[in-house]
Amino acid sequence: MALIQTLSSLTNSKLYKVLCTTICMKYESLWDSFTITDKEYPKEARNMKYRGTLDGVLKETEKIITSKNSAYHSVIKNIPGVHRYLDNRMHKNNLSLALHASRIIRSSMEHKIANEGSGDSEEILKRSIGLGLNIYRDPKSSLGELENFRSYINQSKDGKILQKGLIQDMDRKSWKASNPKLSFGSAKHLHDLTNGNNVLFLALGNGGIAPGMDVYLRYCDYLDDPNSDFYVARFSKTKKQDIAPQLTDAEKKHIQVLSQGKQIVLFDEDVNTRKTMEEAKIYFEETFNKPVKALANFSYSEDYINFCYSGRYLS
């Protein structure tokens, strides 16, 4: 923890890999193997585009994890000349896992909202969050949980969710805000912001889920005795015309329990006009009668950092 405080003033992006290797001893981010450029219109943003179903995402995730564990992969990596191929494949697989984990949560969250929390939709969302975080932490050990997640859905009242369409469009702003350098900076400064205390990390969906998990797990890795929690809430004023974060009464009670003894941290991947984050902050402070810290990976104005701490301007 002292090492984090000592290095908190370092800003040279070339030190990023060294710092991440030195500090992040346990959590190895899937995003760290992929480079996100700072171009205004990055072509890589097309990786976000997806058309399929939740069942398809689960099967693809299982296939990727299984291939990473295969004996065949372990053998061919020692053959001269295939290292570059395997590196490229690893980067692609890691990116797919990072995006698929967030899609599992996204699909479950949208199903819960569409069904107003009825049936088993709230429990499915909770389980999807646990699965998504474990895929980020350690993909190899998440296979059993993935199968249990699918089995639970099949036995629940909401089996139809598996075949429901899952659509994600390309979003260049969200893609740029998922840069692991920004997530690293946000986690580092969240540590300063909370004095290393446990948090309830609330990621605003849909765009805040993937980078939010990365920031949250980096932050947990900094703590000596992590007892923090992670949850998601959709608040999309432009794309979904949400007038408030989409939470059921049962979810509000769940969040109230999770927030006991913790600092509530509200996260979005980027802040443009700051209106969405400002309204969300007011909503959660009034609902839970507790102060809320706001955090974003990317802020479009340095003027916002007194309101919303940003990995872009503070790292």
| Cβ atoms 206, 103 nearer than 8 A | no
**pLDDT at residue 305, rounded to an integer:** 53
- The pLDDT tens digits of the residues spanning 128-139 come to 999 999 999 999
Architecture of domain 15-28+172-314: 3-Layer(aba) Sandwich (3.40)
Instruction: Report which of residues 150 and 311 the model is more confident about.
Output: 150
Spatial separation of the C-alpha atoms in residues 192 and 197, rounded to whole Å: 10
Residue 21: pLDDT over 60: no
Residue 236: pLDDT over 80: yes
**pLDDT at residue 239, rounded to an integer:** 85
Place of tokens 């088993």: 120
pLDDT grade for 238, boundaries at 50, 70 and 90: confident
User: CA–CA distance from 114 to each of 100, 118, 140, 164 (Å)?
Assistant: 21, 9, 32, 12
> Where exactly are the structural domains of the chain?
15-28+172-314, 50-168
Best CA proximity match to 265, nearest among 181, 180, 206, 208: 208
**pLDDT at residue 85, rounded to an integer:** 52
Residue 276: pLDDT over 80: yes
Residue type, 83: H
| Helix residue ranges, H only, the chain | 2-7, 16-23, 54-69, 71-76, 83-114, 121-137, 143-155, 172-177, 180-194, 209-222, 249-258, 275-288, 311-314
**pLDDT at residue 124, rounded to an integer:** 98
| Cβ atoms 268, 296 nearer than 8 A | yes
Best CA proximity match to 302, nearest among 315, 291, 285, 284: 315
Structure tokens at 3: 């090492």
- The pLDDT tens digits of the residues spanning 102-119 come to 999 999 999 999 999 899
**pTM score, whole prediction:** 0.86
Residue 45: pLDDT over 90: no
**pLDDT at residue 302, rounded to an integer:** 62
Percent of the chain with pLDDT over 90: 60
Instruction: Report which of residues 314 and 209 the model is more confident about.
Output: 209
| Cβ atoms 235, 223 nearer than 8 A | no
Instruction: Report which of residues 309 and 200 the model is more confident about.
Output: 200
pLDDT grade for 193, boundaries at 50, 70 and 90: confident
- The pLDDT tens digits of the residues spanning 49-79 come to 999 999 999 999 999 999 865 444 444 455 6
Q: Say how many C-beta atoms besides its own lie within 10 A of residue 236's C-beta.
A: 15
pLDDT grade for 313, boundaries at 50, 70 and 90: very low
Residue 19: pLDDT over 70: no
Contacts of 44 (CB under 8 A, 6+ apart): 36, 37, 175
pLDDT grade for 308, boundaries at 50, 70 and 90: low
**pLDDT at residue 247, rounded to an integer:** 97
**pLDDT at residue 68, rounded to an integer:** 61
pLDDT grade for 41, boundaries at 50, 70 and 90: low
Q: CA neighbours within 13 Å on the CB side: how many for 4? A: 24
**pLDDT at residue 16, rounded to an integer:** 42
